[in-house]
Amino acid sequence: MKTKVWKSVESGFAMTRPLGGLVVVVLSILMLAASLVPALAQEGEKKIGIDQVPARVKAAILKVVGDGRLVDIGVYMQEDKKVYEIEMVVDDKEFDVLFSSAGKVLRRTFESLKAEEGGQAGEDGKSADTFQDSFDLESRNLLPTGRNKYFILEPGYQLVLEGKEGEHTVKLTITVLGETKKIAGVKTRVMEERETVDGKLVEISRNFFAICKQTKSVFYFGEEVDIYKDGKVVAHEGAWLHGKDNARAGMMMPGEPMLGAKYYQEVAPKLAMDRAKIVGLSTTLRTPAGEFRGCLKVQEENPLDNEREFKIHAPGIGLIQDEDLLLVKYGFVNK
């Protein structure tokens, strides 16, 4: 958050000039010092994401923001106590709100009218053009099994999507396997994606995920890829693994999605750099498997080739649309 020097300093100069030179200087210095207290208090501030905030503070933040827009979150020490400060936009007005570690509102300050369009930050509180690429994985309790509102990571769960791409029929089968794989000390769950075109196998990928016990955010640790042609493996394009060749895990699905949040799903330089932006939280979509409301809409893009696509996730179900592919079947299978 930006440091502020209040305009009252200028008015202080104007009001005290008639009192004499010495008074002017003294009062002005006192007012300037007072105005800098917030800036000094924010020394050492660290930007964090909503899923890194304690439960009581998180609940208080979400209650205060309501239907508004959370811009960023910072944490710092004030009088030997940890406090959390947010920037938010509510009813076209920008506010700063300070919370205690118990979730109590300590200060609420009106800043300005609505920020410029596109001024919303990602989960880590960085600028609007920045995607979060670091997720403090070392401090998380990561598990190979679990679920959040839009992502199910439980063995046997399966999604089947189908659709037309030109004249061809494409089928995508996503299955959470009973297998796990340890990557850099983290036990991840294997999720298989099997894609066919006109009934012929074209790709199988084994994706590795882990879910944070505290926040329910799902993290992506890499994938093994087999590309098929005429029944034979011919390539492994897109394969990467956390900890190999400077690759790092990304976030596949935040536990508490926020409108406008931006984050990398893959951080594998020159190999896989997919990133996402949450663009909707209340989408309705009719598919062959039924009509789903209150869905999450995500814009995904790949800066390596400038491709962009949209995906929709339904609460309690998961992925229901991947571009031209729509959900046709879901549920648990013996796998």
Asked if residue 227 is part of any domain, the answer here is: yes
| Residue bearing the bigger pLDDT, 16 or 158 | 158
The structure tokens listed for 224 are 């093994």
Work out how many domains the chain is built from and give that number. Answer: 3
φ and ψ at residue 215, rounded to 5 degrees: -105, -15
Res 36 pLDDT > 80: no
Asked if residue 178 is part of any domain, the answer here is: yes
Res 139 pLDDT > 90: no
Same domain, 69 and 26: no
Asked if residue 126 is part of any domain, the answer here is: no
Res 131 pLDDT > 50: yes
Same domain, 264 and 298: yes
Pairing of strands 218-229, 93-100: unpaired
Q: How far apart are CA 17 and CA 6, in angstroms?
A: 19
If you average pLDDT over every residue of the chain, what do you get? 83
Q: Which residues pair with 327 in a beta bridge?
A: 161
What is the predicted pLDDT for the residue at 30? 46
> What is the rounded average pLDDT of the residues 282-300?
96
Largest CA distance in the chain: 92
Asked if residue 62 is part of any domain, the answer here is: yes
> What is the rounded average pLDDT of the residues 101-111?
84
What is the predicted pLDDT for the residue at 3? 35
Under DSSP, is residue 101 helix (H, G, I), strand (E, B) or coil?
coil
Q: For the beta carbon of residue 225, count every other beta carbon within 10 angstroms.
A: 19
Residues with Cβ < 8 Å from 2, sequence gap 6 or more?
A: none
| pLDDT-derived band at 90, boundaries 50, 70, 90 | confident
What is the predicted pLDDT for the residue at 256? 85
Helix (H) or strand (E) run with residue 41 in it: helix 37-41
Q: How far apart are CA 237 and CA 271, in angstroms?
A: 8
What is the predicted pLDDT for the residue at 120? 40
Q: Which of 98, 113, 128 is the last residue of a domain?
A: 113
Residue type, 112: S
Same domain, 66 and 160: no
Contact 301, 286 (CB under 8 A): no
Same domain, 296 and 219: yes
Q: Which residues pair with 139 in a beta bridge?
A: none
For residues 191, 194, 195, 199, the Cα torsion angle rounded to the nearest 10 degrees is: -160
Same domain, 97 and 154: no
Res 112 pLDDT > 70: no
What is the predicted pLDDT for the residue at 12? 37
Pairing of strands 232-235, 248-253: unpaired
Structural domain for 26, as ranges: 8-41
Contact 241, 222 (CB under 8 A): yes
> What is the rounded average pLDDT of the residues 147-174?
96
Torsion sign, CA atoms 18, 23, 25, 28: negative
Asked if residue 129 is part of any domain, the answer here is: no
| pLDDT-derived band at 266, boundaries 50, 70, 90 | very high
Q: For the beta carbon of residue 270, count every other beta carbon within 10 angstroms.
A: 10
The model's pLDDT over 23-33, given as tens digits with 9 standing for 90+, comes to: 444 445 544 44
Asked if residue 212 is part of any domain, the answer here is: yes
> What is the rounded average pLDDT of the residues 281-286?
95
Res 269 pLDDT > 70: yes
Res 13 pLDDT > 70: no
Same domain, 187 and 77: no
Same domain, 236 and 266: yes
Residue indicated by tokens 């008074």: 23
Res 296 pLDDT > 60: yes
Same domain, 84 and 144: no
What is the predicted pLDDT for the residue at 42? 58
What is the predicted pLDDT for the residue at 303? 87
Residues with Cβ < 8 Å from 167, sequence gap 6 or more?
A: none
Question: What percentage of the chain reaches a pLDDT higher than 70?
Answer: 80
Asked if residue 276 is part of any domain, the answer here is: yes
The model's pLDDT over 157-167, given as tens digits with 9 standing for 90+, comes to: 999 999 998 89
Same domain, 36 and 100: no
DSSP string computed for 151-201: EEE-TTEEEEEEEEETTEEEEEEEEEEEEEEEETTEEEEEEEEEEEETTEE
What is the predicted pLDDT for the residue at 234? 96
The model's pLDDT over 230-264, given as tens digits with 9 standing for 90+, comes to: 999 999 999 999 999 999 999 999 998 888 889 99
